[in-house]
Amino acid sequence: MNMSEVTHEAGKPLVTITVNGKSVMVDGPRITGAEIKAAAIAQGVQIESDFVLSEELANGEMQVIGNNDTVTVNKNSSFVAVAPDDNS
C-alpha cells in the first residue's frame, strides 16, 4: 500500500508532503496553510504557527501560502516555513 495515498477515517486521503525537508502526512488533497503548519508542528517539524509558509513551485519559484489560503497537495508538494522576521 502506498503511504502517500492512505485514506483517513474522515474519508479524505492522507497525502505525504514535505515541510522544511521533513515528510508530513496531511488530510488532502485540499488543505489550508494553517492546516499544513498545524500538521507539521504536530509531527515534529520545528516551526511555529506564525511562521510564513511558502510552496516550492515546479519552476523553482516560491509562492507564499496564507493561513486561510487553500492549496491542492500531492506527494510532490514541498513547502518551506520560516520565522516572520527571517529575511532569507
The residue behind cell 516560491 is 62
Distance CA 87, CA 76 (A): 26
The string of pLDDT tens digits covering residues 7-56 is 555 677 899 999 999 999 999 899 999 999 999 999 999 999 999 999 99
This prediction has a pTM of: 0.84
C-alpha 26 chain-centroid distance:
7
Q: Give the mean pLDDT of 70-77.
A: 96
- pLDDT at residue 4 greater than cutoff 50: no
Res 9: pLDDT: 52
What burial class does residue 35 get, using C-beta atoms within 10 Å of its C-beta: 0-12 exposed, 13-18 middle, 19+ buried? middle
Domains of the chain with bracketed CATH: 3-82 (3.10.20.90)
